[in-house]
Amino acid sequence: MRRTFAFLLTLALATVVSSAQSRSSKTLDIYFIDTEGGHSTLYVAPTGESLLMDTGSPGGRDADRIMAVIQAAGVKQIDHMVSTHYHSDHVGGLQEVASRIPMAQFIDHGPTSEPKEQAPGFQKMYAELYAKAKHTVVKPGDKIPFDGVTVVVATSNGEVLKTPLPGGGKPNPACAGFAPRDESRVDPDNTMSVGLVFTYGKFRTVNLGDFTWNKEQDLMCPNNPIGKVDLYLTSHHGIDQSGSPALVHGLQPRVAIMHNSTRKGGAIQTMQTLHTSPGLEDIWQLHWAYAAGLEQNTPALFIANMEDNETMANVLLNPPATFGQARGPGGPGAGGPPPQGAAAGAPNAPGQGGRAGGRAGGGRGGHTGPAFWIKVSAESDGTFSVTNTRNNFTKTYAARK
């Protein structure tokens, strides 16, 4: 009897081990960091290699939040530091973050396209950082070596990908209704954004920085060189200067993540484009968006950072000004001026409201509680899970059939 029991136990354990080994045990992990209307996303390859896109706004707040995520991810060095473009809400925290963790390579689109720096002294500081590490200027079609993950440059320095990726190159029906906009008031460096497509086995995701509406037509029309993606990070924080149906409906993402703040992003047109995108299952947001109101915001379960009940009630009764919504000639999102005192690309600028301080103290306007992030873990078979760290809610999306 003992021998029989021992044999059965050994057989059961062998079956469990075999089953565990047959599943993918390594994932591509993506961390969407709350920089309150700025941008910073950390990608960690299955081998542990790291790629950080952008570093949020100046001051200690965003740097502290980024470092908290880096530590949670177990990252000891940034192997690839990608700056999509040179606006202060994307590169403002670079010097501070670089002072806290080694960076092996800097990647960008080349010299700034704007005569006046939004982050004063940035180019001088960047040149000093270049002297300590490798510096690469990328163009569309280039690949960034990233262990086990294919990373292709889709946009850079105003140019777009021309050679289709696997699964791309087909006509894009969403181009039929595309209407160009007046982008004369859009800050030029937005159009220069470095945009990347990440492919891990059957999983694919895209991050295009602040690439703009009209340039999206250049990328996606008449043919879509990227093909379908599983995960789409909303371009330009979810304001309606970007995120055209030609882009979003062409990519047909299953999940969208919006790196917004309470007063920046969540534009009605952006939300409607997402909600009507073919095959979209869920929208996850870093913040509850005032502009989207009760009708358009995703359910609270999918929102990483919520306002307190009293503040939300007051906002609903007395809606504040929002950033980057439809203004000026050319219809919704035509690229008209932001609210008075709000520099384009600057989160929580004067006139936009916002609570003071941040989790780590200092920083520009924002909430004072913990800054929760959204984490994605993708397997090579195309399965991926999204987790809201505020409430630990996780949803798993099965691989496309």
pLDDT at 379 over 80: yes
Chain position carrying tokens 């484009």:
273
Give, for 197, the enclosing helix (H) or strand (E).
strand 195-200
CB 214, CB 239: distance < 8 Å: no
Q: What is the pTM of this model?
A: 0.83
Per the model's pLDDT, the better-predicted residue between 260 and 330 turns out to be: 260
Closest by CA to 109, choosing from 182, 184, 160, is: 160
Q: What is the mean pLDDT of the chain?
A: 84
Per the model's pLDDT, the better-predicted residue between 341 and 77 turns out to be: 77
pLDDT at 102 over 50: yes
Mean pLDDT, to the nearest integer, of 286-310?
A: 89
Cα–Cα dist 274/283, whole Å: 8
pLDDT at 259 over 80: yes
Give burial (CB, 10 Å; 0-12/13-18/19+) of 385. Answer: middle
The predicted-structure confidence for 103-113, as pLDDT tens digits, reads as follows 999 999 998 88
pLDDT at 19 over 90: no
What the chain holds in terms of domains, given with CATH numbers, is: 26-397 (3.60.15.10)
The three-class DSSP label of residue 203 is strand
Tokens of 270: 């952006």
Beta-bridged to residue 150, according to DSSP, are 199
Closest by CA to 365, choosing from 351, 382, 376, 345, is: 351
What number of CA atoms fall less than 13 Å from residue 287's CA on the CB side? 31
Q: Among 115-129, 194-208, 285-299, which is the least confidently predicted range?
A: 115-129
pLDDT at 334: 35
Mean pLDDT, to the nearest integer, of 382-386?
A: 98
pLDDT confidence of 312, banded at 50, 70, 90? low
